[in-house]
Amino acid sequence: MTPPIIILVRPQLGQNIGKAARAMLNFGLTELRLVTPRDGWPNPDAGPSASGADIVLERAQLFDTVEAAIADCALVFASTVRRRDLVMPVIGPEEMATQIHASPQRSAILFGPERSGLETEDVALANAIVTVPINPDFGSLNLAQAVILLAYEWSRRSALSQPPAKELETPAPHGEIDGLINQLDAELVAKGYFHPPSRTQATRNTIRTIFTKTGWSSREVKAVRGIIRALVGPSRNRSET
């Protein structure tokens, strides 16, 4: 599985190139190609906006035409709204990601200039249009937002490392839970907690439910029992230093 190339066609601001690079690296994409950026390349404004995604900017390649930028790609997607002047497939991000993962050849996703988007001639070079379903009354995604949405969809099928899930502690045996409940019950009786007497059993049932339905571990049971002993025992005098 080869990650897709992100191609920014005639991007206008260096800050937006940097933000797009940051979005890419968050989801494991590192190959960025630029087609005639308005302010040239390299652009000193890109680095600060990349927030550490320097590897993407350092490896970025510059091209004079879209045709040259996609020459080694067999599968190209144009990120834009539906174009009524072109008869070509229009798919969503999920289908795009599925096709990229299924293809053994290089793929690319085209993004147009911030103000106007891809021209018809650019879109015509792609195999399909990919459109993000957004509010039809407010379709205002900026360049980095568009990149991050499609990069995320691709990453869902990749093997990006995830934070290891913390291993859950083994639930304490019922005998330990009973010991905790009995200790608490004895202290509550001593304090006259159960009142009126007619509600005593119902209250005890509620307390038992609290401690049996949450899957307390042995460590947690010991901690709570220690808290109870501390609350009912004599205060510890701490020497001032």
pLDDT tens for residues 174-227? 889 889 999 999 999 999 999 898 999 999 999 888 888 777 889 989 999 999
pLDDT tens for residues 160-183? 655 555 666 788 888 898 899 999
Residue 13's domain spans which residues? 5-155
Question: Is 88 within the bounds of a domain?
Answer: yes
Measured in whole angstroms, the distance separating CA 144 from the mean position of its chain's CA atoms is: 15
* Beta bridge pairs of residue 78: 110, 129
Q: Domains in the chain: how many in total?
A: 2
Question: Is 168 within the bounds of a domain?
Answer: no
Q: What is the pLDDT of residue 238?
A: 59
> Which residue matches tokens 């390349």?
41
Q: Which two tokens stand for residue 233?
A: 């025992």
Could you give the strand order of the β-sheet that contains 61-63, starting from the edge strand earlier in sequence?
A: 61-63, 32-35, 5-9, 107-111, 75-79, 128-130, 90-91
Q: What is the CATH number of the domain that holds 95?
A: 3.40.1280.10
**Are residues 64 and 179 both part of a single domain?**
no
- How many whole angstroms separate alpha carbon 162 and alpha carbon 170? 23
**Are residues 27 and 81 both part of a single domain?**
yes
